[in-house]
Amino acid sequence: MTCEDRPARSTGRSNARIARETGLHLDTVRAWRDRFAHGGLPALADRKRTGRPAGFTPVQVAEAKALACQLPAKTGTPLSRWSCPELTARGIDG
């Protein structure tokens, strides 16, 4: 939901109607409205993610993507295209 959706909330529209009009899932609308009701706009900020932390830094991800977007021949690798094992074998400095 965005700032444009505030009038929808204040005019008494149902969660189902807001979901239809915005293209969001009903559960998402319900959760966001509940968070907003309990904490206002600050409650809608991104929360800390759960799960395993990222295994690669943003720089390492960029290096891997840059390598994968190059033709292997430009790096001296005798392939016509990269395979996952070949990219893995090249490694990422870390």
pLDDT in tens, 16-65: 999 999 999 999 999 999 999 999 999 999 888 888 888 888 888 898 88
- Is the C-alpha dihedral spanning 22, 24, 25, 29 positive or negative? negative
**Cα 49–Cα 84–Cα 61 angle in degrees, nearest 5:** 40
Half-sphere exposure of 27 (CA within 13 A, CB side): 0
pTM of the model: 0.44
